[in-house]
Structure 1
């Protein structure tokens, strides 16, 4: 598997993608920079947006993508596929997330709209 990141750069780039109703990945983002790591934190409203952000993070040179607990098994698979397995995709995992009334992200974020309110 060919990887797009460069380990000889001064700082190691990683991304954390979270999903929640109303997030806009163009504005709901932050960059956290420490001595050795640059972390991009980006919020998305659904899996489709997260796939686009994951591809952007791959092009940015991120070495890995972490997903929040809202991403179910199918969501993790979709993000892995979106980056063509060129970088590792990991996830905090809840089968049923307590912040989403014990629903899985697979039930909530595969649609292009939010299906329940909190």
Structure 2
């Protein structure tokens, strides 16, 4: 049975260490029953969702850009836009999936780098 990757667990842990009182309502690691009905990196433990909570310090407008600095990232979805690391020259593009990801950002990590649990770029921010 798939387990959450070290990279994804570290991402959420780093956000919590930075902002311990942050809202975690839309956080996620493994796919729920809805995710399991379709292709999703959550099903393999290679994705995480981070709740947008700017009042507590987790502003996904910033965190989505910081995520792109990390070598493990495959793609990021935030606020009806998607950025694919393999298509970096195209920049942010419109995302038209059912969930616009306006209350949380989605980050998928590369399967071959999933076990690297090093700090995420936001770990070095000051709260």
TM over 0.5: no
TM-score, with length taken from structure 1: 0.31
Higher helix share: 2
Q: TM-score, normalised by structure 2?
A: 0.29
More contact order relative to length (CA 8 Å, sep ≥ 6): 2
Answer 1 or 2: which has greater strand percent.
1
